[in-house]
Amino acid sequence: MRVVVTGAAGQLGKDVLRELENKNHEAFGLDREQLDITNEADVFSLINEVKPDVILHCAAYTNVDAAEEDEDTAYQINALGTEYLAKAAKEAGAKLLYISTDYVFDGTANEPYEVNQETSPLGAYGRTKLAGEQLLQKHLDRFFIVRTAWVFGIYGNNFVKTMLRLGEERGEVGVVHDQVGSPTYTVDLAKFMVELMETDKYGIYHATNSGVCSWYEFAVEIFKQAGLHVTVNPLTSDQFPRPAKRPAYSVLSKKRIEEEGLTPLRDWKEALAAYLQESK
């Protein structure tokens, strides 16, 4: 298959390109230098030129706190950029897979969010990603929306890297314990995306590694597996204020993956071990 990957220079995009190569697909990786997704004419021109079978849309404005100050830019990238790609995909007869987020939910649930559950974002980032989902669905029948959470991989900045750096610098860290979710390793998410795009099982999916933890428990496990002796102090979200409010409960139900006979992502602790091995 001919596959266009947006956000190809990013943490997820790079692993998606690797997985496409492993599966012998013809990949066209585009970063923001090669394609400004907020320019509709550029999007149409590129998609018409490449004529892909699939577009894997990983590009996003992901700075959750900055989005509170600059929702307009986040909207242009997350919502309008996605709409332009959807319209171009329709014209080219291509499938589109859009990466979305747990932030479309408000985090007040106490059991895993199902794919059809009502959305209610708390902040600008979640609102703009949800707008992307809605605009995509307005134009396309052949789409996949994959909501994920707590992403980490070797190519970007993420919680695991931050913890390892702080642990080595300080020997003591404070981490919130009242936000719960499931970490997601980009290698595993990329494998799922490529498996999914090869099917016609369209619709919305939730994809994270399996298992559940708080950020505090995640940090403790990182240090344990890395063999670092670091004191981790549990904090409440109120003790660690950020510009954007975070969902307290971000656990996504992966039921749809099983129902469709797709490969579930492994346990997050196994994924973390694989990441630490890879980053050596």
Residues that are catalytic: 125
Q: Which residues contact 8 (CB under 8 A, 6 or more apart)?
A: 14, 16, 17, 29, 30, 31, 58
**Burial (CB count within 10 angstroms: exposed 0-12, middle 13-18, buried 19+), residue 204:** middle
Rounded to whole angstroms, the Cα distance separating 265 from 261 reads: 12
Q: Which residues contact 93 (CB under 8 A, 6 or more apart)?
A: none
Cα R_g (the chain), whole angstroms: 18
**Burial (CB count within 10 angstroms: exposed 0-12, middle 13-18, buried 19+), residue 22:** exposed
Residue 76: other Cβ atoms inside 10 A = 17
Q: Which residues contact 127 (CB under 8 A, 6 or more apart)?
A: 71, 75, 121
Look at residues 107, 124, 106, 133 and name the one whose alpha carbon lies nearest to residue 203: 133
